[in-house]
């Protein structure tokens, strides 16, 4: 990736596989100003560095030997190119963000010739939102972060007839990938994960198989799923990155039953809260399912999009 011009005394270098601490430090400094109470975590930095080639897809800006900015791009599931980054407060208002975003967009055009769109994500009205608007991005979608107190009682719900819980063992990894790709095909920018991307992005060390829930039919075909991740920065929290129901089983209460089972197991394991992100205009009405399970909205994020070509 071609580095941006040096501004504010910043020297740019390619990312490295061991940059998780640098990305976390810059992100935390930016988030304290932009989204207080919602800092990015080291888990997120590690996951990013695991799914990209840092030397080609990540830039780190240093001043006096200390990281003060970073930018990265990745393209999960063959969808739009996602751009993310952060600029420490002490070097803002000097064109650092504009230069960094321009470099990311140019690298996306060169290295992702099949991509038509680029996206960035903002929480609330601050952070990257003003820069995105000035750089030709437009609001495309809203996502809601919802959280549940695991001390609240869980409303029990049984799986529909003909379905049963199956242990989430490695033998189900590939069948689950195929079902997940089919389930989310009708969602906004639904991603089609390949086998390697699926393993590194969704089934990495953050996965908690014992809390995840899989429903199968009499033939062993997957009817629904809830994946659970650990959150290192919040040991008492479980994150639900994926909740889905196969099309043939929608409307039967599969997701509600799987959520109830997972939430009860998480509470029994001593965890205190669960969270997830959901499309504010989900075609399946997922937000209503989560509200019924006592999840409440804690923040909203906007995805901004612009053409690359």
| pLDDT single digits (tens) 98-147 | 999 999 999 999 999 999 999 999 987 778 999 999 999 999 999 999 99
For 15-64, write each residue's pLDDT tens digit.
999 999 999 999 999 998 888 767 778 888 988 998 899 999 999 999 99
Tokens matching residue 89 = 């407060």
The answer to whether residue 141 is domain-embedded is no
Residue 197 has what pLDDT?
86
| Structural domain range at position 129 | 11-136
Within-domain flag for 6: no
Structure tokens at 280: 């504010």
Backbone phi and psi for residue 52, each to the nearest 5 degrees, phi listed first: -125, 165
Same domain assignment for residues 83 and 150: no
Same domain, 171 and 293: yes
- If asked whether residues 130 and 153 sit together in one domain, one would say no
Distances (CA, A) of 88 to 69, 95, 218: 6, 12, 54
Strand partners for 216: 164, 222
Give the whole-angstrom CA distance, residue 110 versus residue 103.
11
* Cβ burial, residue 309 (10 Å; 0-12/13-18/19+): exposed
State whether 131 and 150 are in the same domain: no
Distance CA 17, CA 72 (A): 13
Q: Are strands 81-87 and 222-230 parallel, antiparallel or unpaired?
A: unpaired
User: Does 50 share its domain with 176?
Assistant: no
Q: Rounded to two decimals, what is the model's pTM?
A: 0.82
DSSP letter, residue 168: -
């Amino acid at each position: 990736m071609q580095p941006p011009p040096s501004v504010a005394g910043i020297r740019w270098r390619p990312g490295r596989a061991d940059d998780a601490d640098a990305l976390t430090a810059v992100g935390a400094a930016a988030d304290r100003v932009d989204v207080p109470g919602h800092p990015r975590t080291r888990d997120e930095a590690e996951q990013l560095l695991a799914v990209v080639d840092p030397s080609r897809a990540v830039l780190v800006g240093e001043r006096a030997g200390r990281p003060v900015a970073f930018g990265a791009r990745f393209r999960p599931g063959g969808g739009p190119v996602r751009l993310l980054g952060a600029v420490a407060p002490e070097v803002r208002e000097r064109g650092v963000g504009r230069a960094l975003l321009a470099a990311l967009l140019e690298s996306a055009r060169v290295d992702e010739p099949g991509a038509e769109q680029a996206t960035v994500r903002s929480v609330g009205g601050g952070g990257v939102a003003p820069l995105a608007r000035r750089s030709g991005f437009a609001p495309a979608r809203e996502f809601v972060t919802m959280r549940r107190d695991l001390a609240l009682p869980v409303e029990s719900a049984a799986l529909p007839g003909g379905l049963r819980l199956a242990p989430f063992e490695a033998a189900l990894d590939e069948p689950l990938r195929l079902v997940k790709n089919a389930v989310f095909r009708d969602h906004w920018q639904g991603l089609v994960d390949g086998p390697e991307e699926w393993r590194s992005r969704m089934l990495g060390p953050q996965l908690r198989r014992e809390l995840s829930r899989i429903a199968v039919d009499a033939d062993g075909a997957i009817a629904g799923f809830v994946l659970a991740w650990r959150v290192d920065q919040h040991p008492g929290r479980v994150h639900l990155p994926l909740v889905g129901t196969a099309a043939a089983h929608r409307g039967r209460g599969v997701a509600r039953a799987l959520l109830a089972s997972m939430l009860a197991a998480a509470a029994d394991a001593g965890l205190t809260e669960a969270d997830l992100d959901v499309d504010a205009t989900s075609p399946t009405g997922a937000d209503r399912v989560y509200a019924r399970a006592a999840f409440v909205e804690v923040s909203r994020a906007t995805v901004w999009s612009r053409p690359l070509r």
